[in-house]
Amino acid sequence: MNTLFLIASLFLTNTVFAADNTVAETNANIDLTHHIIGFLSILITVLAYVAAMMEDVIDLRKSKPMVLGAALIWFAICTYYALHGEAKVAALAFESNLLAYIELLLFILVSMTYLNAMEERGIFDGMRIWLLNKQFSYRQLFWITGFLAFLLSTVVSGLAVGLLMGAVATAVGKNKKQFIGIACVNIVVAVNAGGTFSPLGGISTLFVWQNKILKFGEFFALALPCLVNFLVPAIVMHFFVPKDTPAASSRAINLRRGSKRILILFVMTLMITVWGNVYLELPPAAGMMAGLAFLQFFSFYLTKTVKNQESQFAYAYKFFGVDVPVGNEKQDFDIYKNVGNMEWDTLLFFYGAMMIIGALSFLGYLDAIAHFLYGQNHPTNANIIIGLSSAFIDNGTLMFAVLNMHPDLPPGQWLLLTLTLGVGGSLLAIGSAPGVGLLGQIKEGYTFGYHMRWMPVILLGYIASIFVHFWVNAHYF
């Protein structure tokens, strides 16, 4: 991944909110918004984000400036508080943000581990071969990959689905740059739209759910607006997709042992996660980690039940006294390899972004922004403006900021904010995780400039989804 992916989190549990309130009460008399510490924090934040955005130019992984920036800001804050005898206050604020990051990390970690396991078992390669063998036209593949991205993003993180469907589109559209580019734009829009009405797929939606602002089922009120957001630009782009059909694949589908059972375990994990949160009020990370335990034990089962067989050549060599290594499948399925294949640069970038935004909130800058946005504007206008901003700054970062502002909004406005932040990132390639991921993955056909060409029709879908939301969800206002 070679460009900006901004993501952040929030104080996710009652314990964290209690800690945050304690911090707010304790540091009420220490105003650093006009202090050198505050100005230094803003400067470091800007420099860190600029360096992350220029990853392609300077060949510096985006996680490095963000993690360093977070460290510098928090050390500056904690040093100032320590000199004034309030070291514990700043430390408690840091720990609150750290807890938020850990919960988000565990959630994404399990989701992407399952996805990597499915890929390793050949599930997604089988999907690609099946699509090619069905001899679908490029226009049919455009809609199939789009709808698959829309549906999968409701239960899997957008970054993972974007990378997966981008790989499928690249494989089926080999040597057809025109199809790859337009299919990737469609996938980005579809992933962001699908993840917006499901806490299991969208980061900003997950934040609102974890903070118990809206119940799990209430987000499905956004299903129709999100579908409209996906369909409007897709219908326009359909007429620019090539009409011909790609060649069929000569390969056979070869699913490795345990592939179907891993799919079943993943569905069970999602069900436990939702049930644990709704009925037991456990954080979603608890259910996901239970699912990781299932996968670990299944990995153990696959490893212990694999057959170790020596080839006839190995027996022949041993007959003549030659010692040769025996080929076996002892490591038939190693779950830790799937964990190791995470996008660790992105996950570490999450840490830096979360801690930096948390520091700015602690310093009081987000309160000032909240006063301007929600104090001087109608909530609808503020939410639409914030949604448009997500084209430049990831929706997770913005949702984190808004939640730290603690605006007093009715459920309809919270749904509107969730909608605009979720789909607004589709306007530009750098506005969401799927777009950023595809920019790094796709070597030709999909670029920042190509995505920007389709911004007018994506904006049309953005506006249409807002009108549909006010139409079908009027009772929430």
**What's the pLDDT band for 310 if we cut at 50, 70, 90?**
very low
Q: Which of the two residues, 346 and 228, has the higher pLDDT score?
A: 228
Look up the pTM and report it: 0.68
Mean pLDDT of 7-12: 32
**Mean pLDDT across the stretch 97-116?**
80
Domain extent listing, the chain: 14-299+334-476
Average pLDDT, whole number, for the chain? 78
**pLDDT value for 394:** 67
**For position 182, what pLDDT does the model report?**
93
The band of 26, judged by pLDDT with boundaries at 50, 70 and 90, is very low
pLDDT band at 186 (very low <50, low <70, confident <90, very high): very high
Question: 365-421 pLDDT, tens per residue?
Answer: 877 776 777 777 788 988 998 888 888 766 776 787 787 777 788 889 999 999 998
Inform me whether the pLDDT recorded for 10 exceeds 50: no
Report which of residues 37 and 235 the model is more confident about.
235
In tens, the pLDDT along 114-157 reads 877 887 787 777 777 787 777 788 899 999 999 999 998 888 77
The pLDDT of 308-326, averaged and rounded, is: 44
Q: Which of 46-55, 311-320, 461-470 has the highest mean pLDDT?
A: 461-470
% residues pLDDT > 70 (the chain): 82
Confidence band of 279 (pLDDT split at 50, 70, 90): confident
Q: What is the pLDDT of residues 160-175, one digit of tens each?
A: 788 778 878 887 877 7
Query: What is the average pLDDT across 272-295?
Result: 84
Q: Which of 95-109, 166-180, 234-248, 424-438 has the highest mean pLDDT?
A: 234-248
Identify the pLDDT of residue 19. 38
3-class SS string, the chain = CCCCCCCCCCCCCHHHHHHHHHHHHHCCCCCCCCCHHHHHHHHHHHHHHHHHHCHHHHCCCCHHHHHHHHHHHHHHHHHHHHHCCCHHHHHHHHHHHHHHHHHHHHHHHHHHHHHHHHHHCCHHHHHHHHHHHCCCCHHHHHHHHHHHHHHHCCCCCHHHHHHHHHHHHHHHCCCCHHHHHHHHHHHHHHHHHHHHCCCCCCHHHHHHHHCCCCCHHHHHHHHHHHHHHHHHHHHHHHCCCCCCCCCCCCCCCCCCCCHHHHHHHHHHHHHHHHHHHHHHCCCHHHHHHHHHHHHHHHHHHHHHHCCCCCCHHHHHHHHCCCCCCCCCCCCCCCHHHHHHCCCHHHHHHHHHHHHHHHHHHHHCHHHHHHHHHHHCCCHHHHHHHHHHHCCCCCHHHHHHHHHHHCCCCCHHHHHHHHHHHHHHHHHCHHHCHHHHHHHHHCCCCCCHHHHHHCHHHHHHHHHHHHHHHHHHCHHHC
